[in-house]
Amino acid sequence: MKRLLAVTLGILTAIGGFVDIGDIVSTSESGSRFGVAHTWVLVVGIIGICVYAEMSGRVTAISTRPVFDLIRERLGPRIGLVNLLGSYLITLLTLAAEIGGVALALQLLSGASYLLWVPAAAIVLWLALWRVKFETLERVFGLSGLALVVLLVSIFWLHPDFADLKGQATTFSPPKGENWPTYFFMAIALFASAMTPYEVFFFSSGGVEERWTPRDLTISRINVFLGFPLGGLLAFGFLATSAIVFEPIGVDVSTLGQAVLPAGMAFGRIGLGLAILGVFAATFGAAMETGLSAGYTVAQYFGWSWGKFLRPRQAARFHVVVLVSILLAVAALLTTIDPIQLTEYMLIFSAVVLPLTYLPILVVANDRGYLGDKVNGPFANIMGVIYLIIVVAAAVAAVPVMIFTGMGG
């Protein structure tokens, strides 16, 4: 059992990358507009994040240094600061969106407006980050996020035409009535969020929180190769069910409520309840991931003491950053800005941050001074370089495509 629970860090990290509130809605939107045509993007994203999360987990297990330490060490304080600002903004926007997402899930359960739930969600989030043990948080939210499996099972209960779905998944172009720029915009958005940088920050810092040593290398790998594909699979549940329910009638999904409707159609109230519970756990988990990551990145850039394994008084600056980030997120939400829209702006900053995060990981994973004989093998290096190129290409293309399509309009 203990071994089984050791993979919850990977699951929780992956949830933040694949099924946080922005992804739930944009994956479902993609399903409703393009069918399951973007399945390949999920596959490419899963492999990419596995490659780099494995490297950063290995570096952390052997050297006990989290990823942001490497960024400043290899790229210097100036470029490190550029990355810090970009990553912090991404993390903060996502944090705000996730708190909004928790509130939206509560709205679907209660019927009361999500704005009323925002302050309560933020307070509970802060209390959890202040008081609850890291492992407990990871287990509770990593495991309850798995309730989203209900959407995967729904695929079979909705009796789709599997030949049709297979056709969509193997056609690498937009269906009739949709255009290429939008197809690419959604593909880039899905890919960028699969490889969003706070995942490696959180995963490697989580490894330090759990006091990984070189002996935990296997634990780290199991986390990566089980957690991330599982997260991607949950995202596929949203993609496929929206493709089955909404694509044929031509409805474009744009709200959380629509995204979970297929679970209700398949399994009734229990299915709907499970899906909403899963969304609640996933968004709350992603809120914890981004809230902590905000603190981790700032503290690791400046060298401050950080982490939940210390008493808060020993890491006062870290806890202040976390607290201030939550307050900023709440302030942003209370302007009644749409929380789901917030995550789309993340793409702008990803363009800068993604290459500056993954390059130092790749370089350090080849450093014998750090890793001894555990440096990258040829396969990890080939994959690392290929993905670095894809990441740069996606990053460069993101902003023009975004302006051109008016954010996927």
Partner 1 sequence: MPLLIAFDLLDRQILDRDGIPVGKVDDVELSPDSRYVAALLTGQRALGARFGGVLGRWITGTAARLDTDRTGPRRIEYALVAKVDSAVHLSVRRELLTPPALEAWLDEHVIGRIPGASDAG
Partner 2 sequence: MRATSWAATGLVAAALAWGGAGYLATKPTDFHDYRVAAVGAAQTAYDALASADLTGTALLAGRVTGPYADSMLGDARDALAGAAKQFARVSPPDQRTQKMRDELGPLLIKANAVLPGTASDITDKTLDNLKPVEDALDQFLEEHE
Partner 3 sequence: MPAKASDLLGRRVLAADGKPLGRIVDLVCEIDGDGRPRLVAALAVRGPWGRLLGYEREQVRGPWILETLARMILRRQMTTVPSASLRLDE
Binding site for partner 1 (CB under 8 A): 63-65, 69, 72-73, 76-78, 80, 130-134, 299-306, 308-314, 316-317, 319-320, 369-370
**Of partner 1, partner 3, partner 2, none, which one does residue 316 interact with (CB within 5 to 8 Å by kind)?**
partner 1
DSSP string, 182-249: HHHHHHHHHHHHHT-THHHHHHHHHHHHTT--GGGHHHHHHHHHHHHHHHHHHHHHHHHHHHHHTTTT
Residues whose CB falls within 8 Å of the CB of residue 268, separated by 6 or more in sequence, listed in order: none
The Cα 104–Cα 25 span in angstroms is 12
DSSP string, 113-132: -HHHHHHHHHHHHHHHHHHS
Quick check: 255 binds partner 2 (CB under 8 A)?
yes
By beta-carbon proximity to partner 3, the closer residue of 286 and 375 is: 375
Least Å from the CB of residue 73 to partner 3: 9
Least Å from the CB of residue 80 to partner 3: 10
Tell me which amino acid residue 97 is.
A
Residues whose CB falls within 8 Å of the CB of residue 249, separated by 6 or more in sequence, listed in order: none
**Of partner 1, partner 2, partner 3, none, which one does residue 409 interact with (CB within 5 to 8 Å by kind)?**
partner 2
CA distances from 1 to 4, 5, 13, 215 (A): 5, 6, 20, 19
Quick check: 376 binds partner 3 (CB under 8 A)?
yes
Find the binder of partner 3 among 64, 144, 254, 366 (CB under 8 A).
366
**Which pair of tokens denotes residue 111?**
């019927």
Least Å from the CB of residue 129 to partner 1: 8
Find the binder of partner 3 among 21, 42, 44, 75 (CB under 8 A).
75
Least Å from the CB of residue 187 to partner 3: 26
Quick check: 265 binds partner 2 (CB under 8 A)?
yes
Torsion sign, CA atoms 163, 164, 165, 169: positive
Q: Compute how many other C-beta atoms are within 10 angstroms of the C-beta atom of residue 128.
A: 17
The Cα 202–Cα 177 span in angstroms is 40
Quick check: 368 binds partner 3 (CB under 8 A)?
yes
Show contacts with partner 2 in window 101-120 (CB under 8 A): 107-113
Find the binder of partner 3 among 160, 320, 367, 374 (CB under 8 A).
367
The Cα 140–Cα 11 span in angstroms is 11
**Of partner 1, partner 2, partner 3, none, which one does residue 95 interact with (CB within 5 to 8 Å by kind)?**
none
Task: Tell the residue number behind the tokens 């309850």, with chain if given.
Answer: 144
**Of partner 1, partner 3, partner 2, none, which one does residue 310 interact with (CB within 5 to 8 Å by kind)?**
partner 1
Least Å from the CB of residue 281 to partner 1: 20
Least Å from the CB of residue 53 to partner 3: 18
Quick check: 81 binds partner 3 (CB under 8 A)?
no
In this structure, which long-range contacts are made by residues 374-379, counting pairs with CB atoms below 8 Å and at least 24 apart in sequence?
Answer: 374/58, 374/62, 374/214, 374/217, 376/55
Quick check: 382 binds partner 3 (CB under 8 A)?
yes
Can you give the binding site for partner 3, defined by CB under 8 A? Answer: 74-76, 359-360, 362-364, 366-369, 375-376, 381-382, 384-385
